[in-house]
Amino acid sequence: MNRYSLNQATTKYWPLEDVVAASATAGLEWIGLWREPIQEYGVDQAAKLVADAGLKVSSLCRSGFFTSTDPAERQAKIEDNRRAIDEAATIGTSVLVLVSGGLPAGSRDLDGARGMVRDGLAELAPYAEERGVKLAVEALHPMFCSDRCVVSSLGGALDLAEQFPASQVGVVVDAYHLWWDADVYRQIERAGERILSYQVSDWVVPLPEDTLLGRGMMGDGSIELRRLREACDAAGYDGPIEVEIFNQQLWDAPGQQVFDLALARYEEHVI
């Protein structure tokens, strides 16, 4: 249980104070936070709230979105990413999760878009290291490649991360996005010390109309969550394991109920 971390996005409409209190009451060590709600709460206040509850922050989600053909827009994103790094430092986490961004409007140039991600990382990585923050590149499921994230596999994330020191850039292993990959266990081994987060949910079909909200509760779907966790362990990862589920039904349910269910399913299917 000492590795468990509920990412607050799983209980999206539950106030930050409640999810912090529930995590502390359950004896957890970790909590996963999201930029928008802590900005709303006040980043300094959120840092104090979490520290006072005796919790550590497993990761801050989410920044990135580097891909644009407009230089001014790319620069604005870099500045927003610097703010995200500052927020991560303030909130006391060493892991900032980055989603690359999709293909620029009207473009089919995947290599070019991935180059923009590399350029963005290059601009941010030294600054992040100064602030004690590592950039965690997250591959999203290939169904999001065109409109959300041109990094679609763990191998692709590592191709980017390995262009930087492991002290600056690593990867997220999110089971939902990666489970289908025949190469994923080899890539987890390759990732080794670059694994900065293991995130769990489950793959359920049919997908909802908004495919971003298709994630299921652990145990409700097809993913070998324990096997993936063991592979991350074997690769040397011993950090927190985040439950991160975007699901309208769960969001509509009472926060404590979702909290309890996620913890039980974690014990049953992950650890």
User: Which of 80, 129, 181, 233 touches its own copies by CB under 8 A?
Assistant: 181
| Euclidean distance between CA atoms 128 and 125, whole angstroms | 5
Per rule CB under 8 A, is residue 108 in the interface with its own copies?
yes
List, in sequence order, the alpha helices (H) in 140-179. 154-161, 175-178
Footprint (CB under 8 A) of its own copies, residues 186-225: 203, 205-207, 209, 211, 221-224
∠ CA 194-227-267, nearest 5°, is: 100
146 touches its own copies by CB under 8 A = yes
| Out of 114, 118, 134, 229, the residue judged to bind its own copies by CB under 8 A | 114
Question: Which residue among 132, 180, 252, 254 contacts its own copies (CB under 8 A)?
Answer: 180
C-alpha 58 chain-centroid distance: 10
* 21 versus 110: smaller Cβ distance to its own copies: 110
How do 215-216 and 202-203 pair as beta strands?
Answer: antiparallel
For residue 184 the two structure tokens come to 């994923």
78 neighbors 260 (Cβ within 8 angstroms): no
Q: Using CB under 8 A, which of the segments 33-41, 52-60, 90-98, 180-188 binds its own copies?
A: 180-188
The smaller minimum CB distance to its own copies, of residues 35 and 177, is found at: 177
How far apart are alpha carbons 209 and 75 in whole angstroms? 33
Amino acid at 225: L
CA distance 247 to 165: 35
CB of 235 to its own copies, least distance (A): 18
Query: Is 155 a binder of its own copies (CB under 8 A)?
Result: yes
Distance between CA 184 and CA 180 in Å, rounded? 8
Distance CA 104, CA 66 (A): 10
Candidates 45-53, 66-74, 152-160, 256-264; binding stretch for its own copies (CB under 8 A): 152-160
The footprint of its own copies on residues 32-61 (CB under 8 A) is: none
Stretch that binds its own copies, among 21-29, 31-39, 44-52, 150-158 (CB under 8 A): 150-158
In the complex with its own copies, the residue whose CB is nearer, 87 or 202, is: 202
The whole-angstrom separation of Cα 208 and Cα 206 is 6
Binding footprint of its own copies on the chain (CB under 8 A) = 103, 108-110, 114, 141-143, 145-147, 150-153, 155-156, 159, 179-183, 203, 205-207, 209, 211, 221-224
